């Protein structure tokens, strides 16, 4: 976890803005391949992991995702939509014993319009359960996502440039607590 905290601190220093970190849990297969699919087609085991977070604040959403190049349109079940243009700033892979973490700092630009195309690079229905890591913030999430036939597990962190190091230490404790719950309940990637 020290490696993750060092990466976050470095991003705050390099990019004087709100940093949008996405941490994908999976297993590095080779230099260019990072497997993020959790237990292919085993929805039961994936759902069992979620039940261990009953004491956390939870939220649920479903809808459709469309991707075209680095643009993403995400629709929600309440007729709300989000449109982002994502640019990767930096990434790092952190190796742990049972899984690896692909940590990405993305520049997210909120847009009003999405390019209309006959076909998109990716189009999939999704369901996701969001676990709020801290009681005080809605911007630090553990996301259990079913996207099409695949199950993904990721952390999404919005890190303010003015975040005091004391709060960063608290965030790291929350992340460690969540990852320990996952590991104690059978989180593995093959």
Whether residue 64 lies inside any domain: the answer is yes
> What is the CB-side half-sphere exposure of residue 25 using CA atoms within 13 A?
24
Residue 136: the pLDDT is: 66
Q: Name residues whose C-beta falls within 8 Å of residue 44's C-beta, 6 or more positions apart in sequence.
A: none
Mean pLDDT of the chain: 88
Answer with the residue of higher pLDDT: 39 or 137.
137
Structural domain for 92, as ranges? 2-184
Confidence of residue 64 (pLDDT cuts 50, 70, 90): very high
Instruction: Please say if the pLDDT value at position 7 is more than 80.
Output: yes
Q: How far is CA 16 from CA 45, 78, 106, 184, in A?
A: 40, 34, 13, 37
What's the total number of domains in the chain? Answer: 1
CATH number of 127's domain: 3.20.100.10
Whether residue 38 lies inside any domain: the answer is yes
């Amino acid at each position: 976890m020290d490696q993750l905290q060092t990466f976050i601190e470095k991003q705050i220093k390099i990019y004087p803005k709100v940093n949008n970190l996405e941490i994908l849990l999976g297993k590095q297969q080779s230099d260019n391949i990072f497997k993020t699919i959790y237990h292919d087609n085993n929805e039961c085991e994936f759902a069992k992991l979620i039940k261990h977070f009953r004491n956390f604040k939870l939220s649920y959403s479903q809808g459709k995702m469309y991707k075209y190049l680095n643009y993403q349109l995400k629709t929600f079940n309440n007729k709300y939509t989000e449109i982002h243009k994502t640019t990767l700033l930096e990434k790092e892979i952190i190796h742990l014993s049972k899984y690896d973490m692909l940590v990405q700092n993305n520049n997210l630009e909120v847009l009003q319009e999405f390019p209309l195309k006959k076909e998109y690079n990716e189009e999939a229905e999704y369901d996701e359960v969001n676990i709020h890591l801290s009681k005080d913030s809605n911007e630090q999430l553990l996301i259990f996502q079913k996207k099409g036939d695949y199950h993904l597990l990721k952390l999404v962190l919005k890190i303010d440039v003015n975040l005091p190091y004391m709060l960063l230490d608290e965030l790291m404790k929350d992340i460690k607590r969540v990852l320990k719950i996952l590991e104690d309940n059978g989180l593995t990637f093959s």
